[in-house]
Each structure stands twice: as C-alpha cells, then as structure tokens.
C-alpha cells in the first residue's frame, strides 16, 4: 500500500509540482509489503512507518500519520496518553520526527483536553 502512496505522489508531483504534506488516516490500515514471512503485527507496523519516513525523505514533504491509541489509556487514572500508548507499535516513537497528540474526552478537564505536544 505504501507503493500506491508513492505512485500517487509521483503522479501528483508530475502534474502539480512539489508536495508539501501527505496525510495518512490511519496508519494501522495500511497493508504491509510482505518481504519475508512470519512477521507479527508490531513488525508490520514498524515496517510501514519506516516506509512512510522514506516517502517523506524522497518527496521532501511532511507525512502526518493518524494512529489509534491502546485502550489501556482509558483504564488509568492519568488519562493523558504518552508515546508508548500507540497501538501495535513502538515504532511511532522511533520513526516520528515530531509527535503530536490531540486529546478529546469527556473525562478530561478543558485544560487537559488541549493539544499535547511531546
């Protein structure tokens, strides 16, 4: 699926010029390129994230990847998510040049519901 993103970006670049931003909604839905057998889901997501980072470098653009958080956040007393709360991968922490979390929840005060930048 990242090869499709790459192909689409090449087409857009040929027609319109440079691309500034790519938004992926959401990263866990991208089908991994299966180069070797036996990969678990964490390894697949890590591979996808590396491919997205390579796309950002190749096209000299920002890639904004939306991702789901683990459900354990809801069961903690401190509801503010951390980088470790990304579902299915620690690769988000490793591959992201910048990392933003937007928290909207009925269980949070207005102050803590503001965008969090880590």
Residue pLDDT tens, the chain, 118 long: 788 999 999 999 999 999 999 999 988 888 877 666 667 888 888 888 889 999 999 999 999 988 877 777 778 887 777 777 776 666 777 777 777 776 666 555 545 444 444 4
Predicted local confidence at residue 113, as pLDDT:
45
Q: For tokens 């005060």, what's the residue?
A: 109
Residue 96 CB: number of other CB atoms within 10 A? Answer: 18
- CA quadruple 9, 11, 17, 19: dihedral, nearest 10: -10
Predicted local confidence at residue 19, as pLDDT:
93
pTM over 0.95: no
Instruction: Tell me how far apart the alpha carbons of residues 10 and 4 are, in angstroms, rounded to a whole number.
Output: 10
């Amino acid at each position: 699926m990242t090869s499709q993103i790459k192909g689409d970006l090449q087409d857009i670049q040929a027609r319109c010029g440079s691309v500034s931003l790519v938004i992926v909604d959401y990263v866990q839905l991208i089908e991994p390129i299966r180069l070797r057998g036996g990969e678990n889901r964490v390894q697949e997501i890590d591979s996808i994230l590396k491919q997205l980072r390579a796309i950002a470098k190749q096209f000299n653009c920002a890639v904004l990847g939306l991702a789901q958080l683990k459900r354990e956040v809801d069961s903690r007393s401190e509801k503010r998510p951390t980088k470790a709360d990304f579902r299915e991968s620690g690769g988000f922490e490793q591959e992201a040049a910048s990392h933003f979390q937007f928290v909207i929840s009925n269980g949070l005060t207005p102050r803590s519901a503001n965008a969090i930048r880590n």
